[in-house]
Amino acid sequence: MNNKLKYFIYSQNSINTYKSCPTKFKYKYIDKINWKYDDIESREYYDSLKVGSEFHLLCERYFSNIPLGLNEYTNPKFKVWIDKIKNMFPMNKKNNKIYLPEYEVRFNLDGSIITAKYDLIIIDENSIEVWDWKTENVKLEYIKVKDRIQTVVYMFLAKEAVCKIFNLNIDYNNIKMKYYQPQYDDIPIEILPLVSNLNQFFARTEQQLKRERRFVSDAAHELRSPLAALRIQTEVAQLAGDDTKTREMALIHLTQGIDRANQLIEQLLTLSRLDNLNELDEQALIDWSEIITSLVSELFFNALNHQIDLSFDYQHLPPIKLGQPLLLSQMLRNLLDNAIKYCPKGTEVRVILQRTKILIEDNGGGVEPEELAKLGQRFYRPAGQNEKGSGLGLSIVARIAELHHYRFYLENIEYQGKIQGLRAVIEL
């Protein structure tokens, strides 16, 4: 562990920063490097922070039962927002609830200190409500906040820290969190009880860890073969002595092995990056006709060298949707590369664009049904293949399709009970 982290106090912001970008976490929290841009967008960002800070102060005063001092503020939104807060939480009514505004707790988790500063905690005999004020000009959705690190940390510490401080025995199911945006409506976003939220979080985390362990294990296994081959060829070159032909052949095999290892590593990095994506950003309108035309033109001479007839059959233009053109181009490229690489000479490969599907078909004889079921498994390559590959190309295709909410599958093309070729289907 970095010595600077030994006494580091983790907040939901720092944890969320690490989750989104470990490098930024290092710069900001370990190296203490902060940066600020003085452009228009930055000014708008800091203006928004100012609005949020001032509204939080007004809420703290209200729930602390001290004068608000609204006249100090020129922002007309504040009076409207505070009136909404007053209607939701009428403090003049007698009740047995405890209101804790801007309440901070710390919790020791296996030697690491985690902190949470709550905008508001409401405690009664049988339940805890955690409230968080949001003043940004983007309307929140349940699906966007239920998985936030903030949600998990705040609800967890409400049970583990707040309950101990106040000597409360409150069931997990009676701890809830609510996000409230006064600028939009009077209905807060209510998160599922703590136990449900944590169970979902732990299930996702466990699944991700299992996936990562399997990936690392498979990657290590696959890298052993090319590295062992490189070592053998290096020894052959060293022992060749005056045998120029043997040495040159060993060097050729050495170069091929390096190329294979590089390809495998590149595919591993690509797949790892895709696996860590939960959703796509920086999306653009997808022009399938343009993408396919460009790919077919680019791969035409490679197909010609393999004696493969490559063509594009435009049947219908799909509805315009958003996506990442570079990833989608890579998805189709992997499928076309496979068809060109593994189909026998004289095969016809067609890319067919339909309204709801993209098909890549060939008449290269297809594959046996038992092999078809295994295609797409990571690192799997059918026996008897002479062409070099990583066994990851179809896995990358499947992951890109999944990120775009497409369905991808392979099927044999049959005619009169005989397998004629292979079809890759992408349902848009």
CATH number at residue 406: 3.30.565.10
Instruction: Give the end of a domain, one of 163, 192, 221.
Output: 192
How far apart are the C-alpha atoms of 183 and 85, rounded to whole Å?
11
Question: Which pLDDT score, from 0 to 100, does residue 153 have?
Answer: 84
15 assigned to some structural domain: no
Same domain, 179 and 283: no
3-state secondary structure of 207: helix
Task: Say what the pLDDT of residue 36 is.
Answer: 53
Q: How far apart are CA 273 and CA 52, in angstroms?
A: 34
Do 118 and 129 touch, CB atoms closer than 8 A?
A: no
- 398 part of a folded domain: yes
Query: 296 by DSSP, 3-state: which?
Result: helix
Closest by alpha carbon to 172, among 180, 184, 181, 160?
Answer: 160
**Residue 39, burial from CB neighbour count under 10 angstroms (0-12, 13-18, 19+):** exposed
Domain assignment present for residue 212? The answer is no
The reported pLDDT for the residue numbered 47 is 73
**By the 8 A CB rule, do 116 and 128 touch?**
no
Q: Which residues contact 120 (CB under 8 A, 6 or more apart)?
A: 59, 63, 99, 100, 101, 102, 103, 130, 131, 132, 133
What per-residue confidence (pLDDT) applies to 419?
Answer: 92
Q: At a CB cut-off of 8 Å and minimum separation 6, what does 365 contact?
A: 344, 419, 420, 421
Point out the domain boundary residue: 159, 192, 225.
192
What is the per-residue pLDDT for 93? 64
Residue 28 lies in a domain: no
Q: Which helix (H) or strand (E) holds 60?
A: helix 40-63
- The span from the CA of 178 to the CA of 73, in Å, is 26
Q: Round to whole Å and give the CA distance between 121 and 363.
A: 66
The angle that helices 149-157 and 194-239 make with each other, rounded to 10 degrees, is 130
Sign of the alpha-carbon torsion through 211, 213, 214, 215: positive
> Are 289 and 414 in the same domain?
yes
Q: What pLDDT does residue 197 have?
A: 59
Domain of 166, in residue numbers: 36-192
Residue 250 lies in a domain: no
* Phi (first) and psi of residue 213, to 5 degrees: -60, -45
Cα angle for residues 29, 202, 128 (degrees, 5° grid): 80
| 285 shares its domain with 408 | yes
Are residues 41 and 168 both part of a single domain? yes
The predicted structure's pLDDT at residue 381: 63
What is the C-alpha separation between 149 and 316, in angstroms, rounded? Answer: 44
Query: Does any domain span residue 266?
Result: no
Question: What is residue 159's DSSP assignment?
Answer: I
Per-residue confidence (pLDDT) for residue 40, from 0 to 100: 47
**pLDDT tens sequence for the chain (428 residues):** 456 666 666 666 677 677 667 777 777 777 777 655 545 445 666 677 788 889 999 999 999 989 998 888 878 889 999 999 998 888 766 678 899 999 999 888 777 788 889 999 999 888 999 999 998 877 888 877 776 778 888 888 898 899 999 999 888 788 889 999 998 877 888 886 655 656 666 666 666 666 666 666 656 655 666 676 677 778 877 887 778 888 888 788 778 777 767 766 776 777 777 776 777 777 889 999 999 998 999 899 989 999 999 999 999 999 888 888 888 988 999 899 889 988 999 999 999 999 999 999 999 998 888 888 777 676 666 655 555 555 677 888 888 898 899 999 999 999 888 999 999 999 99
User: Which of 192, 218, 234 is the endpoint of a domain?
Assistant: 192
DSSP of 315-366:
--PPPP-EE-HHHHHHHHHHHHHHHHHHSPTT-EEEEEE-SSEEEEEE-S--
Please indicate, yes or no, if residue 238 is contained in any of the structural domains.
no
- Check if the beta carbon of residue 97 is closer than 8 Å to that of residue 122: yes
